Amino acid sequence: MLYLSQILGGRVEDSADQVVGRLKDILVESKPGNYARIVFLLVKSKKGEDIFIPYEYVESLGRQTVDLKNIFDKINLAPTPSRCIYLSRDILDQQIVDVDGARVVRVNDLSLGIFEDQMCVLGVDVSFRGILRRLGVAWLDPFRLVSVHLVDWRKVQPVKGALKLDTISSDLRKLHPADLANIIEDLNLHHGTKLVNSLESREAAKVLEELNPHLQKILIKHLGPAKAGRIIEKMSTDEIADLMQLFSQKEAQKYLSLLQDSRVEKVTKLIKYEDDTAGGLMNTDFISGHPDWTVAQMIEEIRKYSPDMRSITFVYVVDNFGKFLGPVSLRNLLLADNKEKLKELYKSADRLATLRPDYPLDKVVNLMTKYDLYSAAVISHDGKIAGVVTIDDVMRCLAPKA
Amino acid sequence: MRYIKNSSWYIRLAFILSVIGPGIIAANADNDAGGITTYSIAGAHFGTKMLWVLFLITFSLAITQEMGVRIGLVTRQGLAGVIRENFGLRLTAFAMILMLIANIGTITAEFAGVAAAFSIFGWSKYLVVPISALAVWFILYKGSFKTTQKIFLLFSFFYIVYIVNGFVVGPDFGQAAKSLITPTIEWTMPFLVTMIALIGTTITPWGQFFIQSYVVDKGLEAKHYRIERWEVFFGAFVTNIVSFFIIISTAATLYKHGIHITDASDAARALEPLAGQLAQILFAFGLFVASMLGAFILPTATAYAFCEAFGWESGFDTTWKSGKTFYGIILACIVVPVIIVLIPKISLIKIMVLSQDINGILLPFILLFVMKIINDRRIMGEHVNKPIGNIISWLTIVGILVATAALLVISFIGYY
């Protein structure tokens, strides 16, 4: 196994055994999902200049020396390449995302090897063994009690340097927003911001919701108003309300001014409720229907609003005066005949456990546990539905560290 | 819209404390067990002779802390991370080991401080040190690190009593002012040991790591830099005002009567002019709280820095399995110092002073890293040091190195 740390600083000799210089860095071309192919060597020449030698000229890459195929005068040196990753400068000792493990690690070493006839970076050494090797004290562990732990290069995402959408591994984008949030919490703010920036606004909004409030605030400020506005727009109303409470009044106004008026109104309403009450927990994004609507009409309505909703488990039947009558579960909608009317389907609110905005957290928890509810409607004193508390809102309060 | 809700008193307190900036916090935490002991001894054994050193290192403290703030704002990561990403693994390991030695030394001083505080009441260190170590571990592991830290910080404002005391004693302020600007040096071992400890307890390796991490964790923005800089300068000034008053208090009481400090109750007597009979209790309380503050912050800060440098998982929300290195470092940073303090017949006062010497001797090496970083345009861009910052920092580094060299020479040839 060849490691980067073993060849950096080695002598570079041409075919006439003349020393060209010392190996300073290795440049690779990295495409998501592939091993990174070595394309250039960065050599510090005897005169102290940085020269780029294309990898085609390399005969062998060894621990002591790098041998070139030609004599130095016959080698066409390359101009400073763009779009290449410098292994020593950009990867070694830097933070990197281990996508499979959904965590941030520091690169202790890189393993190199042949893959499909090409010299590539195969793995990232993140183990203590790698630290010992680089300190030159691997002999301290002759029985190899500390094992090498390599992360497959195809499963990592470098974060230093420009992070463009096309250089982000699709596996990373497929991670659950909560895992992505954990990764961002572990990265330094510059890299974390870049990662969020490289995500699509909707995805970024989900990730942002999962971040701890303190970091949410910092990140939003660091993203700048334009991008932040686009992301906040895609967040659910209750999350926006929570987020705005982190800011000073002036700053909150600035971000709210980026949203639609109807949205702002909802957010402002939510902010008025105490944090640990049903009102503070609830989400105001829900779908309501009229008792005279048919199932087909209702499903059409769901199709229309679904893209704006994080999740839908119930629709809420409301009469002409806005009074809440009762919920219909998606399951019942699915089972019912298309022509059936909602008034025949809903479960009457009188026989249901509902919440009041001022119910404290423990009362909400008790009610929802007692009646096995995934979600519960919050009814204000005038009988109108104010919002919906779902089990995930409650869980987050109960296990804030997760 | 109401942004701060009607909440319980401790949340409001936390909010108020959150406004206090890193400069004041770091500066206040400087007055820990090692600090108070070193300043007391400086005053009790050498009168006001060392005030000029204190005067000069106020500038050094201000400048070095400001550099930490600036690096944190630009790089958005802790000092350990910046060192790792720019100096490679070997130098990182070197810096981390230096920091570990210095921090273990300081934590030892903190537990010695706990032991010394209770010794005033005649309580055995074999009882109080293990109990307080357990308390530290338990609160770190189960409780809220941040809240605890803030509570102890609040208590540590106790040192203001030294300022009041300083006026009650009615020392010779004219003499003190003169000493501030009159360099006096004795080429003897006790003087140099105390002087290096004085520097090492004021500007510390961990303080350098602490302030930078603080800036990063708080998410301070570049636009706050100007305010932050003044806050740091103010913090340096305030902490050394307190140090100044500790020194003149002990100088006007203990030094005047030729009393040498051999245990905590000697040092406590400096507070008698203000507190009379209560001096011992007041001092014991202050020493205990300051020690506990350090005992909380340092093991955690050490563990965070190591994990940042080597990429291990950190934080109290990690599980035992994934965070075993993190917890392991914290445990080691508590257990090793406790064992040292529990060595029979060891002098608690000597531990507290010598640990600050270790800090002082290792400080230049950490500052060299800081200097290299802050003058590197690739890292700092336009925010590299101005000449004045470089001059003060280099003078600090050279000053400590010269004092250390002198100490070495004198200890070899035997002092007069």
Chain B residue with the nearest C-alpha to that of A269: B1
Place of tokens 């580094």: B397
Residues of B in contact with A4 (CB under 8 A): none
Residues of A in contact with B75 (CB under 8 A): 188, 190
Q: How far apart are CA B397 and CA B405, in angstroms?
A: 12
Place of tokens 């609110």: A349
Q: How far apart are CA B306 and CA B303, in angstroms?
A: 5
Whether residue A271 and residue B84 make contact (CB cut-off 8 A), yes or no, is: no
- Residue A41 pairs in a beta bridge with A26, A53
Whether residue A189 and residue B313 make contact (CB cut-off 8 A), yes or no, is: no
Give residue B52's pLDDT band: very low, low, confident or very high (50, 70, 90).
very high
Whether residue B93 and residue A135 make contact (CB cut-off 8 A), yes or no, is: yes
**Per-residue pLDDT at B8:** 53
Whether residue B89 and residue A93 make contact (CB cut-off 8 A), yes or no, is: yes
- pLDDT, tens digit, 9 for 90 and up, residues A222-254: 888 888 889 998 888 888 888 888 888 888 888
Whether residue A95 and residue B90 make contact (CB cut-off 8 A), yes or no, is: no
Distance (Å) from the alpha carbon of A16 to chain B's nearest alpha carbon: 33
Q: How much is the ipTM here? A: 0.80
Burial code (b: 16+ CB inside 10 Å, e: under 16) for A365-378 equals bebbeeeebebbbb
Query: What is the H or E stretch that residue B291 is in?
Result: helix B279-310
In this prediction, residues B75-94 reach a mean pLDDT of: 94
**Which tokens sit at A60?**
């062998």
Q: Which domains does chain A have, with CATH numbers?
A: 2-89 (2.30.30.240), 176-272 (1.25.60.10), 288-398 (3.10.580.10)
The conformation of residue B222, written as its DSSP 8-state character, comes to G
Residues of A in contact with B2 (CB under 8 A): 271-272
Cα B23 from chain centroid?
A: 12
Contact with chain B for residue A188, Cβ under 8 A: yes
Residues of A in contact with B90 (CB under 8 A): 134-136
Contact with chain B for residue A12, Cβ under 8 A: no
Contact residues, A window 377-396, toward B, CB-based 8 Å cutoff: none
Does pLDDT of A272 surpass 90? no
Contact residues, A window 318-377, toward B, CB-based 8 Å cutoff: none
Residues of A in contact with B81 (CB under 8 A): 95, 188
With left for phi above 0 and alpha for psi between -120 and 50, is residue A10 left, alpha or beta?
beta
Residues of A in contact with B76 (CB under 8 A): 188-190
- Strand pairing class (A19-29; A85-86): antiparallel
For chain A, state the CA radius of gyration.
Answer: 29
Contact with chain B for residue A131, Cβ under 8 A: yes
Q: How far apart are CA B64 and CA B374, in angstroms?
A: 10
Angle, CA A62 vertex, CA A60 and CA A65 arms, to 5°: 95
Residues of B in contact with A161 (CB under 8 A): none
Whether residue B311 and residue A105 make contact (CB cut-off 8 A), yes or no, is: yes
Contact with chain B for residue A97, Cβ under 8 A: no
- pLDDT, tens digit, 9 for 90 and up, residues A336-384: 998 899 988 888 888 888 899 889 988 999 988 888 888 899 998 888 8
How many CB contacts within 8 angstroms connect chain A with chain B? 65
**Which tokens sit at B190?**
């006790």
Among A211, A154, A201, residue whose Cα is nearest residue A180? A211
**B203 touches B22 (CB < 8 A):** no
Whether residue B90 and residue A252 make contact (CB cut-off 8 A), yes or no, is: no
Residues 6 or more apart whose CB falls under 8 angstroms from that of A325 comprise A291, A317, A318, A319, A343, A346, A348, A349
Mean pLDDT of all residues belonging to chain B: 87
Whether residue B216 and residue A217 make contact (CB cut-off 8 A), yes or no, is: no
For chain B, state the CA radius of gyration.
Answer: 21
Contact with chain B for residue A311, Cβ under 8 A: no
Site from B2, B76, B217 to mutate, A interface, most A CB atoms within 10 angstroms: B76
Distance (Å) from the alpha carbon of B307 to chain A's nearest alpha carbon: 10
Percent of chain B with pLDDT over 90: 57
Whether residue B317 and residue A401 make contact (CB cut-off 8 A), yes or no, is: yes
**B266 touches B60 (CB < 8 A):** no
Percent of chain B with pLDDT over 70: 91
Residues 6 or more apart whose CB falls under 8 angstroms from that of A258 comprise A225, A228, A229, A232, A233
- pLDDT, tens digit, 9 for 90 and up, residues B183-229: 999 989 999 999 999 999 999 999 999 989 888 888 877 777 888 88
Neighbours of B38 (CB within 10 A): 35
Site from B7, B71, B89 to mutate, A interface, most A CB atoms within 10 angstroms: B89
**Per-residue pLDDT at B2:** 35
Whether residue A135 and residue B310 make contact (CB cut-off 8 A), yes or no, is: no
**A104 touches A191 (CB < 8 A):** no
Whether residue B219 and residue A93 make contact (CB cut-off 8 A), yes or no, is: no
For the four alpha carbons of B318, A184, B86 and B207, in that order, the dihedral sign comes to negative
Contact with chain B for residue A218, Cβ under 8 A: yes
Burial environment of residue A145 by CB neighbours within 10 A (0 to 12, 13 to 18, 19 or more): exposed
Q: How far apart are CA A108 and CA A128, in angstroms?
A: 8
Whether residue B219 and residue A221 make contact (CB cut-off 8 A), yes or no, is: yes
In this prediction, residues B64-74 reach a mean pLDDT of: 94
The conformation of residue B159, written as its DSSP 8-state character, comes to G
Residues of B in contact with A266 (CB under 8 A): none
The crossing angle, in degrees rounded to 10, of helices B348-374 and B205-218 is 60
Residues of B in contact with A222 (CB under 8 A): 219, 221
Of the candidates A190, A221, A271, which has its C-beta nearest B221's C-beta? A221
Chain A residue with the nearest C-alpha to that of B81: A94
Does pLDDT of B416 surpass 60? no
Residues of B in contact with A129 (CB under 8 A): none
**Per-residue pLDDT at A167:** 66
- pLDDT, tens digit, 9 for 90 and up, residues A105-143: 999 999 999 998 899 999 999 998 899 989 988 888 888
Place of tokens 């519960």: A376
Q: Which domains does chain B have, with CATH numbers?
A: 23-413 (1.20.1740.10)
Burial code (b: 16+ CB inside 10 Å, e: under 16) for B189-224 equals eebbbbbbbbbbbbbbbbbbbbbbbbbbbbbbeeeb
The conformation of residue B182, written as its DSSP 8-state character, comes to S
Does pLDDT of A401 surpass 70? no
**B243 touches B31 (CB < 8 A):** yes
**A316 touches A327 (CB < 8 A):** yes
Q: How far apart are CA B395 and CA A282, in angstroms?
A: 60
Site from A129, A134, A188, A272 to mutate, B interface, most B CB atoms within 10 angstroms: A188
**Per-residue pLDDT at A262:** 80
For the four alpha carbons of A196, B228, B394 and B237, in that order, the dihedral sign comes to negative
**A350 touches A373 (CB < 8 A):** no
Cα B293 from chain centroid?
A: 10
Three-state SS annotation for chain A: CEEHHHHCCCEEECCCCCEEEEEEEEEEECCCCCCEEEEEEEEEECCCCEEEEEHHHEEEECCCEEEECCCHHHCCCECCCCCCEEHHHHHCCCEEEECCCCEEEECCEEEEEEECCEEEEEEEECCHHHHHHHHCCHHHCCCCCCCCCEEEHHHEEECCCCCCHHHCCHHHHHCCHHHHHHHHHHCCHHHHHHHHHHCCHHHHHHHHHHCCHHHHHHHHHHHCHHHHHHHHHCCCHHHHHHHHCCCCHHHHHHHHCCCCHHHHHHHHHHHCCCCCEHHHHCECCCCEECCCCEHHHHHHHHHHHHHHCCCCCEEEEECCCCEEEEEEEHHHHHHCCCCCEHHHCCCCHHHCCCECCCCEHHHHHHHHHHCCCCEEEEECCCCEEEEEEEHHHHHHHHCCCC
**Per-residue pLDDT at A295:** 92
Burial environment of residue A203 by CB neighbours within 10 A (0 to 12, 13 to 18, 19 or more): middle
Site from A106, A244, A267 to mutate, B interface, most B CB atoms within 10 angstroms: A106
Q: Which residue has the higher pLDDT, A28 or B169?
A: A28
Residues of B in contact with A249 (CB under 8 A): 1, 3
Residues of B in contact with A94 (CB under 8 A): 85
Query: What single letter denotes the amino acid at residue A129?
Result: R
**A128 touches A146 (CB < 8 A):** yes
The conformation of residue B26, written as its DSSP 8-state character, comes to H
- Strand pairing class (A85-86; A36-45): unpaired
Whether residue B219 and residue A215 make contact (CB cut-off 8 A), yes or no, is: yes
**A172 touches A99 (CB < 8 A):** yes
Query: What single letter denotes the amino acid at residue B286?
Result: G
**Per-residue pLDDT at B51:** 95
- pLDDT, tens digit, 9 for 90 and up, residues B291-314: 988 898 899 999 999 999 998 888
Place of tokens 């091993």: A35
Distance (Å) from the alpha carbon of A245 to chain B's nearest alpha carbon: 5
**A173 touches A179 (CB < 8 A):** no
Whether residue A134 and residue B90 make contact (CB cut-off 8 A), yes or no, is: yes
Residues of B in contact with A187 (CB under 8 A): none
